[in-house]
Chain A
Amino acid sequence: MKDRRVVVVPCSGIGKSLGTVGRVATYKVIERMKPEKTRTVCLALLTMGNGDALRLVRENPCIAIDGCPAQCSKKNIEVSMGKLAHNIVVTDVLRNNRSLKPEGVIELNDQGDKLAEIIAGMVSEKVDEILRKEK
Chain B
Amino acid sequence: MTLAKGKVGIISCSGEDLPEGTISRVATRLVLEKLRPDQTVTLCLPLFLAGGEDERAFARVFPTIAVDGCSKKCAEAGTKKYSGKPVATILISEVMKKYPHLKIKSREKLEPQEMELATKVAEEIAKKVDEILCKKAKK
A residues near B, CB below 8 A? Answer: 9-15, 19, 23-24, 26-28, 31, 39-45, 47-48, 50, 70-73, 75-76, 79, 105-107
Of the candidates B26, B28, B74, B109, which one forms a contact with A42 in the assembled complex, judged by CB atoms under 8 Å apart? B74
Q: CB-CB < 8 A to A41: which residues of B?
A: 16-17
Could you give 28 example pairs across A and B, Cβ below 8 Å? A9-B16, A12-B12, A12-B14, A12-B46, A13-B44, A14-B14, A14-B44, A14-B45, A15-B42, A19-B44, A27-B107, A31-B107, A40-B17, A41-B17, A42-B14, A42-B21, A43-B16, A44-B46, A44-B74, A44-B75, A44-B78, A47-B45, A47-B74, A70-B44, A72-B44, A75-B50, A106-B30, A106-B33
Q: CB-CB < 8 A to B15: which residues of A?
A: 42, 44
B residues near A, CB below 8 A? Answer: 12-18, 21, 25-26, 28-30, 33, 42-51, 72, 74-75, 77-78, 81, 107-109
Q: A11 near B108 (CB under 8 angstroms)?
A: no
Q: CB-CB < 8 A to B72: which residues of A?
A: 45, 48, 50
Nearest CB to that of B107 among chain A residues? Answer: A27
Q: A72 near B46 (CB under 8 angstroms)?
A: yes
Q: B18 near A42 (CB under 8 angstroms)?
A: yes
Cα A10 to Cα B50 with chains together (Å): 14
Q: CB-CB < 8 A to A19: which residues of B?
A: 44
Q: A14 near B74 (CB under 8 angstroms)?
A: no
Q: CB-CB < 8 A to B108: which residues of A?
A: 23-24, 27-28, 31
Cα A54 to Cα B113 with chains together (Å): 34
Cα A71 to Cα B50 with chains together (Å): 8
Of the candidates B16, B45, B74, which one forms a contact with A10 in the assembled complex, judged by CB atoms under 8 Å apart? B16
Q: A70 near B14 (CB under 8 angstroms)?
A: no
Cα A40 to Cα B14 with chains together (Å): 12
Q: B107 near A44 (CB under 8 angstroms)?
A: no
Cα A47 to Cα B107 with chains together (Å): 20
Of the candidates A11, A14, A47, which one forms a contact with B12 in the assembled complex, judged by CB atoms under 8 Å apart? A14
Nearest CB to that of B34 among chain A residues? Answer: A106
Of the candidates A26, A48, A70, A79, which one forms a contact with B81 in the assembled complex, judged by CB atoms under 8 Å apart? A48
Which of the listed residues A28, A42, A76 has the most CB atoms from chain B within 10 Å of its own CB? A42
Cα A31 to Cα B108 with chains together (Å): 9
Q: A70 near B47 (CB under 8 angstroms)?
A: yes
- Quick one: given A47-B78, A72-B50, A106-B30, are A23 and B16 in contact (CB under 8 Å)? yes
